[in-house]
Amino acid sequence: MPHPVRTVRRSTLGLRAARLSLLLGLLLAVVLASIALGARDIPPDGVWKALTAPTGTEDDLVVRGLRVPRTLFGLVVGAALGVGGALMQGHTRNPLADPGILGVTQGASFAVVLSISALGVADVRGYVWFAFAGALAAGVVVFLLGSGPSGPTPVTLALAGAAVSALMNGLVSALVLLDRQGLDAFRFWQLGGIAGREPVVLWQLLPFLLLGLALAAFNATGLNALALGDDVARSLGHRVAATRVVGLVAITLLVGGSVAACGPIAFVGLVVPHLARALSGPDHRWLLPFAAVLGAAVLLAADVVGRVVARPGELPVGIVMALVGAPVFIALVRRRKPVRL
């Protein structure tokens, strides 16, 4: 007779696998829409010919030169921001945390604008290191400021993140007032987007983002233990400090690389983990893959919406995500009560 616990586990595993498969199918549909739709729609047969047998037509140039790189940026950056947000919420045990709300995105943005304005760094291979340093510094400062005598709480972390974000934004504003080049950089980082990025930028940043995703996967088991409390995690043999360091490095790589590539795109790291958790449950071994797929799908869908609603122009994906994410954030705040960690 089958063991009832094993039967339930197999049923849960099968349900999660089926849901993940459906999400992958949804992501494929969004990818096709991202390639086909825009200021000028391209029919499916035109997309297929451009991808498999290009002849140099205008449709071929649009698909291969503009929309395919743009879609690849959306896939990689969306997955990175979704996983980064899930890690942030797991390590802070704060359901309202994301890299933007806790100041990590603003720290990376300020570091990049500073490198461009003050140091004259103009290549992604140079300012990506500043993005990583700024993200790491902001994350550390927020954790230190949000940790009182009894440890961090969701409220103190959110307040510390708001303070750091305001400081970083003020410093960026001061820089761009002094330098025209800094103003151009500020516009880039402030809006955030995946349009017009050169493919070489993605290939330069891809190793760092892949390393961040690998560290996140390695961090999943430790995060499950931390969800039970630090003392319980230690009693189960987990090294709490090492788990938090690995998570912080992963968040830094994912968020810093994403900001270096596309500027700050808000709310992906907040909304996506909640959607993923509703489908996968709290187990981070499943939550993180769900967050990666959903992050890519949500970011690409927002980009497609920005192209369609503003034809023949377009809205940057950062604006679309802000319009969608802000109401979701307000709803989450109203639903939840502060809980001490």
Locate 92 and state its tokens: 């802070």
Treating both helix axes as pointing N-terminal to C-terminal, what angle do 4-36 and 284-309 enclose, rounded to 10 degrees? 20
pLDDT at 178: 75
Closest residue by Cα to residue 88 from 291, 230, 331? 291
pLDDT at 143: 79
Beta bridge mates, 151: 148
Residue 273 — φ and ψ, nearest 5°?
A: -60, -35
The whole-angstrom distance between residue 81's C-alpha and the CA centroid of its chain comes to: 1
Q: Kindly give the confidence (pLDDT) of every residue in the chain, 341 residues in length, as a single tens digit, with 9 standing for 90 and above.
A: 445 545 556 677 888 889 999 999 999 999 999 999 887 888 888 888 888 888 878 888 888 888 999 999 999 999 999 999 999 888 888 787 777 777 888 888 888 888 887 787 766 667 778 888 888 888 888 878 877 665 566 567 778 888 888 898 888 878 777 776 556 656 665 677 787 777 888 888 889 899 999 999 999 998 988 888 777 888 888 888 788 888 888 988 898 888 878 878 888 888 899 999 989 988 999 999 999 999 999 999 999 998 888 777 788 888 888 888 778 777 766 765 544 44
The alpha carbon dihedral of 141, 144, 147, 153 has a sign of positive
pLDDT at position 152: 61
Residue type, 39: A
Residue 212's nearest CA partner among 99, 319, 46 is 99
What is the maximum span of the chain, computed from C-alpha positions, in angstroms? 76
Residue 325 confidence (pLDDT): 77
For position 28, what pLDDT does the model report?
95
SS3 call for 152: strand
Instruction: Give the distance from CA 30 to its chain's centroid.
Output: 17
**Domain spanning 74-335, CATH architecture:** Orthogonal Bundle (1.10)
Task: Report d(CA 12, CA 4) in Å as an integer.
Answer: 12
Q: Angle 268-280/317-335 helices, nearest 10 degrees?
A: 60
Q: Per-domain residue ranges for the chain?
A: 74-335
